[in-house]
Amino acid sequence: MTKTQTNITTTATQSFSIQYSYPVSFTYDLFDPANTLLKDTVCLGGTHKQHKLIVFVDAGVLDGQADLAARIARYAEAYAEHINVVRAPVVIQAGERLKSDLSSVETMQKIICEEHIDRHSYVIGIGGGALLDAVGLIAATAHRGIRHIRIPTTVLAQNDSGVGVKNGVNLFGQKNYLGTFAPPYAVLNDYQFIETLPERDKISGIAEAIKVALIRDAIFFKWLESNADKLVAFEPTAMRHMIKRCAELHMHQIANGGDPFETGSARPLDFGHWAAHRLESITQYEPRHGEAVAIGIALDTRYSVLTGLLPKDADTRVINLLRTIGFDLWHSGLELKTVNGEWEIMQGLSDFQEHLGGELTITLLKDIGVGVEVHEMDHSRVLQSMHWLKQLHTDPDRLTANQ
């Protein structure tokens, strides 16, 4: 006698939500014992105990602040009841070299393990966006997540990357291929670090302010135009306003854009970045990130005009602002071709789509302060935009922005 069984499938749906919240503070001279911000932040995790801290610092920061390790030690001594810095700050050679070298990531993970840093301890990253990306990744993955405090030291990190929820390193020739979405425990922006930055890095970070103003805030863009001369001179009040307003706009988009972990196909905060990321990759990161973004902004702004999305002459305003700030809007890497004779830069569109999956989604401009998403890019118009930028670079005095 044969017994017949009926296959029955049952499904139970697990559902829960987690609210993320973290402070983003702006201060001056964070490691002055009279400034209690760091101590107060650490004590948010429990005021009646001593907290272990491990600090990773970008080697470039020490070029401008050679006494940083000593200042951190004095601060920890002043608040020894609450803070235990388990070893001298670990100096890391940062930049894209760090993000492209997984051995450096493994070294940092090993240090965390050796010092017995647990989920109630803190991993602190002090540096630019590349270091924060890498340290954020190790903090998010060690013990499946250790409290991470970001202390951004560049304009680009304070006004953009440092306030977000993404961490990552480069792999297989792709930018940020390996990474996580893991919000930091806190972001502490110290304006003092900006004062000791090389001029090139100060200028580079302003690109992200121009970007977010173009897609979200026409009033801020007008302020950038009106204060361009002050920004070029790195006037402290103007720089601080630019950094803080830019950070606020990025935070608002992350919190209210409906997709903080990028589960869809849109990346509005990456306006101008499809070309920028590819340009960085094919030139071995010769231009700073902000310099590549400035080129990407100029390219996509011109493209927006050619397609009829953006009113004529709007590209003139954008180009003039970028030039006034000090950006060179051309790089020879734009003309690189593959062995098959194809334009290398065009691979950026495929990379952009593959990074998120789904359909290609590129943010362009409908007006100053108004971004719009499109799902295809006409390669011939992209090339026209590139040619236009090259003409402007070759003969900036004769060729007007509308030619």
Query: Can you give the residue ranges of every domain in the chain?
Result: 24-195, 199-394
Q: Are 369 and 219 spatial neighbours (Cβ–Cβ below 8 Å)?
A: yes
Q: Are strands 362-367 and 186-190 parallel, antiparallel or unpaired?
A: unpaired
Distance between CA atoms of 24 and 150, rounded to whole angstroms?
A: 9
> What is 199-394's CATH topology?
Dehydroquinate synthase-like, alpha domain (1.20.1090)
Class of domain 24-195: alpha beta
Average pLDDT over all residues of the chain: 92
Residue 401 pLDDT? 43
pTM summary value = 0.90
Topology match between the domains 24-195 and 199-394: no
pLDDT tens-digit map of 122-178: 999 999 999 999 999 999 999 999 999 999 999 999 998 899 889 998 888 788 888
**CB atoms near residue 9 (< 10 Å):** 4
CA distance 324 to 318: 10
Share of residues in the chain with pLDDT > 70 (%): 96
What is the predicted pLDDT for the residue at 359? 86
HSE value, Cβ hemisphere, 13 Å, CA-based, for 170: 20
Residue 358 has pLDDT above 90, yes or no: no
**What pLDDT does residue 233 have?**
97
Inform me whether the pLDDT recorded for 6 exceeds 90.
no
Of 241, 250, 251, nearest to 22 by C-alpha is 251
Angstrom distances, CA of residue 279 to CA of 4, 37, 66, 384: 63, 39, 33, 17
| CB contact set of 171 (below 8 Å; sequence gap of 6+) | 102, 177, 178
In sequence order, the 6+-apart residues with CB closer than 8 A to the CB of 2 are none
Distances (CA, A) of 151 to 124, 294, 325: 7, 25, 25
Q: What is the dihedral of CA 19, 24, 30, 33, to 10 degrees?
A: -50
Q: Give how far Cα 310 sits from Cα of 4, 93, 189, 299, 307, Å.
A: 68, 42, 35, 13, 8
Percentage with pLDDT > 90 across the chain:
77
Interval 266-324: pLDDT, tens: 777 889 999 999 999 999 989 999 999 999 999 999 999 999 999 988 999 999 999 99
Of 95, 268, 260, 101, whose CA–CA distance to 178 is shortest?
Answer: 101
**N- to C-terminal Cα separation, the chain:** 88
Closest CA to 345 of 272, 288, 265: 272
